[in-house]
Amino acid sequence: MSCKVECKIRYNHVGYGVKFPKRFFVAVPAVGESACGSNMRDYAGARFVVVGESGALAFEGTLAKRGFCDYTREMVYEGDFSNVAAPGKYKIKVFLGSDEGTLCLASHEFSVSDEWFSRQLMANIKSFYFQRSGVALPVEKAGKWARPAAHLDDCIAFHAIMNREGTWNAHGGWYDAGDYGKYIVNGGVSVGTLLLACEMCPPEPTLLEEIRFELDFFLRMQDADGGVFFKVTPGHWDGFMMPVDSDVMQKRFIMGKSTSSTLNFAGALAQAHRVFQKLDPDYAARCLAASRRAYEWAVQNPDADWPHNTEGSGGYGDEHVEDEFFWARAMLYRESRDPALRAQLPGDMLLNPVQPCLSWRDTHNFGWMALALLDAPSGADADLQKNARTELERISAEIVNLHEADAYGLSIRKFVWGSNGEIANHALTLLVTYSWTRDPKLLNTAMELVHFVYGRNPVDTSFVTGSAWSSPMHPHHRICHSDGVEEPIPGLLVGGLNNDRQDLHRMAHYSSDLPGFAYTDERCSFASNETAINWNAPLTAALALIRYYSLGQNT
């Protein structure tokens, strides 16, 4: 017998790590009648079981109340089955009936394993490969998502707003999201986030390849004077067509050269020096020199505006570049120990307080993390590092407190465009702090946040394409909708809950007005169902670090 009211079971649809706490939720709406009893009924103490593949009982327990969720108007209960530690496939069954023993809820099969960290990590890394622009993706690597080279961008004109003759080679790099734009602001935070994972744990070779693909594009985007162009944009927004067809329809242009894009470049390229130093010293030196030239340009041009043009590509307009200056200076200082840069860091720290997370707009934490991860600091640098670590510890404690106070275990308090990226970024902040504190609470909370992304959420969706039975099938992603393949490209994280619903005019069908249900798996829903590299990057980094710190190895 199943439940007539919408009592819902919420769990990670992919799985739980062997050594981690394992919790699922039962959510009971605050309005309406229930076959399991009225809404006022307290389900604390209701029985649940966890069964293995053969149906054998693996665990038996009772629900405990977590609290009321105001963004879904549900009472949320929790079942803890952390004791199930044997790797395998399991299902949860919950008995909510007034008549003891009545089954109301059952989960799909999920795994208890450490293997899924690697599986999802590799899918995430591969999604950056699928975002490659300008090159063919052969069948041997891309399977049914193979496609021919298009958008070569190796000889494109400057957009009319730049009033500049000639052409430029802006070949390569990743498409930003579901659109075909290539942006330095946003490319910077994405590649910087992935570089962070690479400097904190031994990197996957394929991840390094992808990072280098983007960095090569970055290097091409630097002008002769050191400034860095803002973006490569099509003249108009592309329809839902493949890149080869877009090439037939319209031209692409270089647009803008701003302080923000130049500093994104400087920060990311200085960090690239750190990661590639041992692997390819010449390349690393080239990255560092390019970073320095970009930084000098930004110092000379601190108010160079971004192109206020959103016909064909997104804005990524940022009025505050103090945080980008901090990012660039801290990363450059770490690589060069230049005293002139050092002298400005205390001021940067005052001006750019630590944040719960990174975003394309707020890059403060790259500065804080660079200083927290200084190697072998001595004298005044040791104080700098101590200060940075203390601040990151403070913000991490806040994230943990927010997580503990929320019925779904979330540390964010608003659902904005790309909330899944924000959640993954909170996890990343915790994991960076974990790298020196080794406080298990930080690692466990990071994992709890990741559970939301993979299904333990109010909309019962594992937000990464191809990850589970509930994954998005209709992401707002041009290639996914025009490649003739039914399944979307795997490993793409969609934006997720977004209570601002900027796509209502496109007839997106949200199931409820409540913030906690502001997601719809429809192509038109660019506000909740688009994918973007800056959301995928922190999830990739979080998975790599969770795997590394929980298994102490890379497999």
By CB under 6 A, name the binding residues for ligand 9MR: 176-177, 179, 181, 314-316, 417-418, 526, 530, 532
H/E stretch holding 154: none
Q: From CA 169, how far away is CA 536, in angstroms rounded? A: 27
- The nearer residue to ligand 9MR, 246 or 444, going by C-beta atoms, is 246
Q: How far is the CB of 526 from ligand 9MR (least distance, A)?
A: 6
Amino acid (1-letter code) at residue 255:
M
- The nearer residue to ligand 9MR, 203 or 314, going by C-beta atoms, is 314
Q: Which of 97, 34, 27, 91 is nearest to 57 (CA)?
A: 91
Secondary structure of 449-488 in the HEC alphabet?
Answer: HHHHHCCCCCCCCCCECCCCCCCCCCCECCCCCCCCCCCC
Q: Are 491 and 464 in contact (CB under 8 A)?
A: yes
- The nearer residue to ligand 9MR, 203 or 234, going by C-beta atoms, is 234
Q: How far is the CB of 550 from ligand 9MR (least distance, A)?
A: 30
Q: How far is the CB of 160 from ligand 9MR (least distance, A)?
A: 21
Residues 6+ apart with CB under 8 A from 539: 124, 420, 421, 424, 450, 453, 464, 493
Residue 355's CB: how many other CB atoms inside 10 A?
17
Q: From CA 326, how far away is CA 370, in angstroms rounded? A: 10
Tokens, residue 387: 């200060």
DSSP letters along 63-96, please? -EEEEEETTTTEEEEEEE-TT--S-EEEEEEEE-
- The nearer residue to ligand 9MR, 281 or 315, going by C-beta atoms, is 315
- The nearer residue to ligand 9MR, 434 or 526, going by C-beta atoms, is 526
Find the largest Cα–Cα distance for the chain.
Answer: 79
Q: Which of 542, 471, 452 is nearest to 11 (CA)?
A: 452
Q: How far is the CB of 186 from ligand 9MR (least distance, A)?
A: 7
Q: Which of 65, 59, 60 is nearest to 77 (CA)?
A: 65
Q: From CA 214, how far away is CA 175, in angstroms rounded? A: 10
- The nearer residue to ligand 9MR, 79 or 356, going by C-beta atoms, is 356
CA 482 to chain centre: 24
Q: How far is the CB of 501 from ligand 9MR (least distance, A)?
A: 12
Q: Are 204 and 275 in contact (CB under 8 A)?
A: no
Q: From CA 378, how far away is CA 436, in angstroms rounded? A: 17
- The nearer residue to ligand 9MR, 128 or 297, going by C-beta atoms, is 128
Residues 6+ apart with CB under 8 A from 288: 269, 270, 273, 332, 335, 336
- The nearer residue to ligand 9MR, 3 or 493, going by C-beta atoms, is 493
Q: How far is the CB of 421 from ligand 9MR (least distance, A)?
A: 8
- The nearer residue to ligand 9MR, 177 or 372, going by C-beta atoms, is 177
Q: From CA 356, how far away is CA 40, in angstroms rounded? A: 36
Amino acid (1-letter code) at residue 347:
G
* CA 279 to each of CA 41, 275, 383: distance values in angstroms, whole numbers, following the listed order: 62, 8, 31
- The nearer residue to ligand 9MR, 222 or 536, going by C-beta atoms, is 536
- The nearer residue to ligand 9MR, 352 or 420, going by C-beta atoms, is 420
Q: How far is the CB of 316 from ligand 9MR (least distance, A)?
A: 6
Cα within 13 Å of Cα(144), Cβ side: 10
Coil/strand/helix, residue 16: strand
- The nearer residue to ligand 9MR, 66 or 231, going by C-beta atoms, is 231
